Structure 1
Amino acid sequence: MTLATYRWTVKNYHQAIDAGLFADEAVELLRGNLVVMSPEREPHAYYTRSIGQYLQRLLGQRALVSEAHPITLPNNSEPEPDVAIAQPLGREYLEHHPYPGNIFWLIECSQATLTKDLTEKKDLYAEAGIKEYWVIDLQHHQLIVFKDLQNGSYTTEKTLTAGIISPLSFPDLPVSVEKLLQ
């Protein structure tokens, strides 16, 4: 017996959303596949909210800090990263979610999804050209930073538990690692 699967495009996915097909399901589109999202527990919600508020205070009007909203990637993917720091394009986002060229960096807060965020999501974001990707490892209270894209892969990985980090897009912005992890 041959198993047939259906590969979703972003356009088909949007049409299904508009038709109410996923009204009762938390799903995201990854490489043309529908993936059921893990239910969000209290620690995950706390860190996502806390990090989003902290970064918005630091960045002010320089960037849009978007919590748990879709981004559109060219590889038939529309993930919902926990925090996306993007260009503040205002009403333009009525027409489309942020594209890779609009995104400064992405953050995933990981507890139950740590392996997925360090492998599948990391590769997906790198292939799409996202310049920088941070994973807040809630299990080990550490920040894992991926950057320096080359040929669709991050070439630098750094793990931090303290100190100050500045994102590539905002080298003048001191971000406290302790504040992200508290």
Structure 2
Amino acid sequence: IDGEIIDMAPIGSKHVSYVNRITRILVKGIGDIALVSVQNPVILGDLSEPEPDFALLKPKDNDYEDSLPEAEDILLLIEVADTTLNYDKQIKAPLYARFCIPEYWLIDTQKQSITLFQKPVEGQFTITITQALPLSISPLLLPNVQLELK
């Protein structure tokens, strides 16, 4: 992130369980409309290559075999936070806004809630909404897709 290598805490069973559950929900709900990329890197400028828990990407015939996805390929990024909530909110959200990622969802496993960061302008998300889970929701750029997050 911004040229710095970040040591991350080991992934615990709660985080794994959320990622597994959300993977099923996304793959089933999204189908072939977008590519669901799980815990893979995305390139944001010359200095950042975060590995969000989920990236919904514009479809590409070769599934990004030739190059990693970049900001313009991203429809939505999702992070699952068990122990990383402050980092995901204070460091990753501004990074994603700076690169005009249209939407970022931050799932708090402790509070069983989701914070939606939407519509980046000048390096900041202009809309931030927190709601309790379970929740039925559609990504901004995929309004016909209804996801039941639990």
Q: TM-score range by the shorter chain?
A: over 0.9
Counterpart CA distance in 2 for 1:175 and 1:117 is: 22
Counterpart CA distance in 2 for 1:32 and 1:94 is: 24
Provide closer, same or farther for how the CA distance between residues 98 and 148 of structure 1 changes in structure 2, counting only shifts above 3 A.
Answer: same
Alpha-carbon deviation of 1:75? 4.9
- Alignment RMSD, CA only? 1.3
Alpha-carbon deviation of 1:125? 0.6
Counterpart CA distance in 2 for 1:106 and 1:69 is: 11
Q: Contact 2:41–2:49 at 8 Å: present in 1 too?
A: yes
TM-score (norm: length of structure 1): 0.78
Answer with 73-82 or 91-100: which moved more.
91-100
1:170 aligns with 2:142: yes
1:143 aligns with 2:102: no
Alpha-carbon deviation of 1:95? 1.9
The answer for the alignment partner of 1:115 in structure 2 is 86
Provide closer, same or farther for how the CA distance between residues 139 and 89 of structure 1 changes in structure 2, counting only shifts above 3 A.
Answer: same
Counterpart CA distance in 2 for 1:79 and 1:39 is: 16
Counterpart CA distance in 2 for 1:70 and 1:102 is: 12
Tell me the percent identity.
35
Runs of 4+ in 1 over 2 A off after TM superposition: none
Q: Which one has more relative contact order, counting CA pairs under 8 Å at least 6 apart?
A: 2
Give 5+ residue unaligned stretches, structure 2.
none
TM-score (norm: length of structure 2): 0.94
State how many pairs are aligned: 149
Alpha-carbon deviation of 1:92? 5.5
Q: Contact 2:100–2:121 at 8 Å: present in 1 too?
A: no
**SS of residue matched to 1:104:** strand
The answer for the alignment partner of 2:4 in structure 1 is 33
The answer for the alignment partner of 1:67 in structure 2 is 38
The answer for the alignment partner of 2:51 in structure 1 is 80
1:89 aligns with 2:80: no
- Which has more helix, going by share of residues? 1
Alpha-carbon deviation of 1:145? 0.3
